[in-house]
Amino acid sequence: MKIGVIGGGQLGRMLALAGTPLGMNFAFLDPAPDACAAALGEHLRADYGDQAHLRQLAEEVDLVTFEFESVPAETVAFLSQFVPVYPSAEALRIARDRWFEKSMFKDLGIPTPAFADIQSQADLDAAVASIGLPAVLKTRTLGYDGKGQKVLRTPQDVVDTFAELGSVPCLLEGFVPFTGEVSLIAVRARDGETRFYPLVHNTHDSGILRLSIASTDHPLQALAEDYASRVLKQLDYVGVLAFEFFEVDGGLKANEIAPRVHNSGHWTTEGAECSQFENHLRAVAGLPLGSTAKVGESAMLNFIGEVPAVEKVIAIDDCHLHHYGKAFKAGRKVGHATVRSHDRATLDRQVKRVEALIKN
Ligand code: AMP
């Protein structure tokens, strides 16, 4: 089976690393000459709107999937005429736009921060008056790793801020005084069978994920699964979906969903019986899903800007290096490590050993 992937970054690369042993081949559509997934499959180097190359991709592959959600809607619509596309165009339309996403949560009875659609500075002033400060202004589309957003703390922060974010459609959200951030990685098969990985506790710095720790018997697991199930059914979703939540007042508020494999699920490559990457491929290919059970205790640490010395990373017990083969650049995710252990205390010590190798 040949899988077409829109985007050729590290998520595409890790999908291919998981799918190749299943006998799958891969073609990646990505305009970047140095797309790091290209080492694992065919690289169609073209813009996402290039219909000749989209046609070529559709002819070559059995199905198409995505490794990022900001794919133009026209690309998905065009491809869907010729080849099955998972997750669906509708799932992408909702997940790529914070307004559609939060409106869906609200319609499904899933708690969210207070939010308002912002099309102008006047909208922003009115929304700040009703939601209050502090608040977070985010572009509706194309934001990632904390980009395209600004925390508003004082009335002075609100002045001219709509223009500062590019005068594009935005969402204003009430600031959530969360006690933690967790994510749930879910996978849904074509026949509707759904499985969930254990909730992951995430630590961010400057909007970028740094550390994920898979939990054991998290008290909010069932609630998170309930909320995610509502979304998966609503979208008739196929594939892996990541759901990010704020932990607040002993409950959960939905932050966002990602219609793809997710950074906070990278620990599953070594830490679960079947990884998020393999399960995404199994789901989209119509194969039986794999077990989402944990194998011991696991954590994942991102390498941002540079990968520490390989020999030092892999000298740590049960520590697994994933080097993306990308050029090092400040603020860029260029690799990660997964650490595993039989017990949490040992895991925490291993995490500290990896952290000691990270300079930034
Ligand atoms: P996002 O791109 O929406 O996932 O936001 C990136 C990070 O900014 C989140 O992981 C939080 O740490 C923080 N953040 C985003 N929205 C809010 C909010 N409404 N209240 C408090 N912190 C937030």
Q: Give 101-146 pLDDT, tens digit per residue.
A: 999 999 999 999 999 999 999 999 999 999 999 999 999 998 877 7
Mean of pLDDT over the chain: 96
Q: Which atom of ligand 1 is nearest to the CA of 255?
A: 3
Domain boundaries, the chain: 2-85, 114-174, 180-359
62 CA from centroid of ligand 1 (Å): 37
Q: What is the pLDDT of residue 206?
A: 86
240 CA from centroid of ligand 1 (Å): 21
Edge-to-edge strand order for the sheet containing 25-29? Answer: 42-44, 25-29, 2-6, 63-66
Say which CATH architecture domain 114-174 belongs to: 2-Layer Sandwich (3.30)
Please, where are the H alpha helices in the chain? 10-19, 51-60, 73-80, 89-95, 98-107, 121-131, 155-158, 161-164, 221-234, 268-271, 276-284, 310-313, 344-355
Cα dihedral across residues 133, 148, 205, 5: positive or negative: positive
Look at the domain 180-359 and name its fold: D-amino Acid Aminotransferase; Chain A, domain 1 (3.30.470)
Of 3.40.190.290, 3.30.413.10, 3.40.50.20, 1.10.620.20, which CATH number belongs to 2-85? 3.40.50.20
Q: What is the pLDDT of residue 144?
A: 75
Protein residue with least CA distance to atom 18, ligand 1 = 175
Q: Which atom of ligand 1 is nearest to the CA of 144?
A: 2
Residues whose CB falls within 8 Å of the CB of residue 34, separated by 6 or more in sequence, listed in order: 326, 327
313 CA from centroid of ligand 1 (Å): 30
- Residues framing ligand 1 (Cβ under 6 A): 113, 136, 143, 146, 173, 175-176, 181, 204, 207, 244, 255-256
145 CA from centroid of ligand 1 (Å): 9
Protein residue with least CA distance to atom 2, ligand 1 = 146
Reading the chain (360 residues) residue by residue, the pLDDT tens digits are 999 999 999 999 999 999 999 999 999 999 999 999 999 999 999 999 999 999 999 999 999 999 998 898 889 999 999 999 999 999 999 999 999 999 999 999 999 999 999 999 999 999 999 999 999 999 999 887 778 899 999 999 999 999 999 999 999 999 999 999 999 999 999 999 999 999 999 999 988 999 999 999 999 999 999 999 999 999 999 999 999 999 999 999 999 999 999 999 999 999 999 999 999 999 999 999 999 999 999 999 999 999 999 999 999 999 999 999 999 999 999 999 999 999 999 999 999 999 999 975
With the most atoms of ligand 1 within 8 angstroms of its CB, the residue from 68, 255, 256 to mutate is 255
Contact 285, 326 (CB under 8 A): no
Structure tokens at 276: 């998020």
SS3 337: strand
Protein residue with least CA distance to atom 8, ligand 1 = 207
Q: What is the pLDDT of residue 207?
A: 85
Q: What is the pLDDT of residue 360?
A: 55
Contact 198, 214 (CB under 8 A): yes
| Dihedral angle over CA of 147, 151, 155, 161, nearest 10 | 10
In sequence order, what DSSP letters do the residues of 166-198 get, joined into one string? TS--EEEEEPP--SEEEEEEEEE-TTS-EEEPP
Protein residue with least CA distance to atom 13, ligand 1 = 207
Cα dihedral across residues 237, 240, 244, 245: positive or negative: positive
